[in-house]
Every structure is written in C-alpha cells, then in structure tokens.
Homo-oligomer: A and B are copies of this chain.
Amino acid sequence: MKFIIQRNRLIDSVQDVMKAVSSRTTIPILTGIKIVASDQGITLTGSDSDISIESFIPKEENGDEIVEIKETGGIVLNAKFFGEIVRKLPMDFVEFEVQNHHQTIIRSGKAEFNLNGLDPDEYPHLPQISEDKVFSIPTDLLKSIIRQTVFAVSTSETRPILTGVNWHIENGKLTCTATDSHRLAMRTAPIEMDPSETYNAVIPGKSLIELSKILDDSNTPVEIVMTENQFLFKSKNLLFFSRRLEGNYPDTSRLIPTDSKTELVLQTKEFLHSIDRASLLARGERNNVVKLVTLEEKNIEISSTTPEIGNVVEQIQSESISGEELKISFSAKYMMDALRALEGTEIRIHFTGAMRPFIIRSVDDDSILQLILPVRTF
C-alpha cells in the first residue's frame, strides 16, 4: 500500500472513526484503525464491536485531487498513536507506505514515522447488511430526535433494555421513546415508508450519542437501514453501524395519562431558570427535589430547602392555570432536562394529581412529549 493524501481530510476522517474505537476492548486489533487503499480512494474503519464506523475519502472531489494512490492494499494502525501523529504532522500532505511485516512509514516534510502495523485481514468484518427496510430523514431532524430522547435512557444496567431508545415505525410514523422508569421522553416524526410496514428496534443510547457527534447540521438526508441485529446510518462517505439491544421494550403507552386535573401554561425559559435556581438548594433528604404550588391569580410558587444551608422561594406568573389547586414535588434535574428538550417559547403541563405522572408539551408542537413521575413529599 502506498498513497499520498491531503492531511486535513485525513484528520476529519480519523476523528470520525475514532469515535467507535475504545481503549478498553478485549480484542487487541480493535484498538487500531483499519486503512484500506483501493482504486477509488481510502477507507478508514474503527469499531468497538457495538459500534462500527467507516469513513471513505474519495480520490477526487469536485476536480480536486485528495488522494494519489500509488499502490492499493491495507493496514491496521494503533488508533491513539495514529490519531495524534496525523494531527501533529508538519505539512499539508502525508505519504503512507506499507513495507514488509506491516511496517508502515508515514512521511510529511522532513518528519518520518515508522509504525508497527497489524494485518488488515485479521480485522473483524463489518456486519453484512442486506438493504431490507430502508427510510431516510434529514440530518438535522435526526440530530433533534436523538437530542430530545436520549437523555432519558437509563444509566443503570439493572434493566439493560432501558439503556436504549425504542424506535418504532407504524403507519408511516417514527416514534422514539426513552425512559429510565422515573421519566420518559417521546418524539414522533413522519417518515416516507410504506404505511403497512411496521418495525421495532431498541438502539443503545451510547450509539446514538456517538452518531449525533459525527453528524453535521445540514438537512441532507441520512439513510437508515434496519436488519435483524443491526442498525445502519448512511450519510455521504460515512457508514455508522450499531448493534440493537436484545429483548422486548416495555409497553410505555399505558404510563401516559390521557386525562388531566390541572393544566398550566408557562414561559419555557422563565420556568427553566426558576427551577435551576431552586435546584441550587434542593439538596435535602431527597436529592434534587423542588416543590411547585399553584397560588391565586395565575401565580405559582417554586421552592426548595437544604436544611443546613437555607431555602429558596420564587413566584412565577403563569400564562394560564385551569383545573384543581395543586401541590407537587419533582426532580429539578428531570424537569430541566425535559424543558431543554422541548421546542418553542411556551409549554403546557398536564397534571393528574400530586402522585401521578405528569406530561409536558410545547404549546404549539405535539411531536415531543416529556413525562415525569413526581416525588411524594406532601
């Protein structure tokens, strides 16, 4: 293998595939990045066996030569060293040359690195995907969907299925749900797919977070391929594979109340800042719990106490209050996470009593639902 490549393009691709490489893998070759030079260009691959990322650098783009291939072939190089070296090379172009015994020369200007590589044939093959169920969504929408749900996955391995986000497709609609059993986030989006097809898969939260970091903020479509064991996200020159979590995702629809006893409409930012302030002193017996009480004349009161330190009380004017009076306590963190995930300047909260889960939605957007279980304190 021998080629010369633009350093900046190489840096970008290495940065992308590095996101799949873990230093704590039990399979030594997976601490490396696989580099393959073909007549079309260079392909880099990184994997921790849960996630695999493949980035392709074409020989030429818009008439600009990016890679000059002198000899095709492949090599696996230690990801950590390779990544650092590429970033610190002195010139705009880099030459790669694989010699006997996988010895690899990396040259740039007068600097010459000689790295011990590994046999690319020993690198695990990426999952074979038969393009079966496919749909596509714009990159920016995909990033929103991830951001608005993934924070609510469980971080505990007690119920592994809850560490993933449930992707459910039915009637041409995608519904993504995440819950750690104390709160739930749900986002829907219409997709172009045969409405008679249904599909269900749980994708690890960690995979979605890494995917989100790689995606840009454009609205170019990402193609999504779903198979028995894998999820594949395809965008320009990039393949992102994630395994699926095994097991059945719990039926969350019964959790979501359909009636409501008290309804509140609030300015999102004002409410968020007030909860944020109250959370500063929400370090009592039950960690991070704030209280909300409805008052006269559309006012509500947010408060919290840390006995040794002090307490905080704040009144907010709501846009409207309807239904029964209410005193309720909940986690400030869950509320702030939910408010940050919602879009729009006003939110509506549907309460069904102090002991029942409550729902938060944007006033003018039904596609996002946030649910929180209250804490018993009154």
Q: Hey, which bits of chain A sit against chain B, CB under 8 A?
A: 78, 81, 84-85, 88-90, 104, 110-116, 273-274, 276-277, 280-281, 306, 308-316
Contacts and interface: CB of A to CB of B under 8 A. Distances in A.
A111 B311 contact: no
A111 B314 contact: yes
A110 B314 contact: yes
A113 B274 contact: no
A85 B309 CA distance: 12
Contact of A85 (B112, B116, B280): B280
B309 A90 contact: no
A310 B116 CA distance: 6
Contacts of A78: 309
Given A280-B84, A280-B85, A281-B81, A111 B274 contact: yes
A312 B276 contact: no
Nearest to A112: B313
Nearest to A103: B310
A106 to B, nearest CB: 9
A277 B114 contact: no
A280 B81 contact: yes
Contacts of A273: 88, 90
B85 A277 contact: yes
A90 B316 CA distance: 12
Nearest to A307: B116
Contact of A309 (B81, B280, B308, B315): B81
A367 to B, nearest CB: 30
A80 to B, nearest CB: 9
A194 B111 CA distance: 53
A317 to B, nearest CB: 9
A112 B314 contact: yes
Contacts of A90: 273-274, 277
A110 B317 CA distance: 10
A315 B114 contact: no
Given A81-B309, A90-B273, A113-B311, 11 more contacts: A81-B280, A81-B281, A81-B306, A88-B276, A88-B280, A104-B310, A111-B274, A111-B277, A111-B314, A114-B312, A115-B310
Contacts of A308: 116
B310 A110 contact: no
Contact of A316 (B88, B104, B110): B110
* 9 closest cross-chain pairs (CB), A and B: A115-B310, A111-B314, A113-B312, A110-B315, A114-B310, A88-B277, A84-B280, A114-B311, A116-B310
A121 to B, nearest CB: 21
A7 to B, nearest CB: 13
A313 to B, nearest CB: 5
Nearest to A302: B111
A295 to B, nearest CB: 12
Contacts of A89: 277
A111 B85 CA distance: 53
Contacts of A314: 110-112
B310 A111 contact: no
A281 to B, nearest CB: 7
A113 B306 CA distance: 11
B280 A312 contact: no
A310 B113 contact: yes
A190 to B, nearest CB: 39
Contacts of A112: 312-314
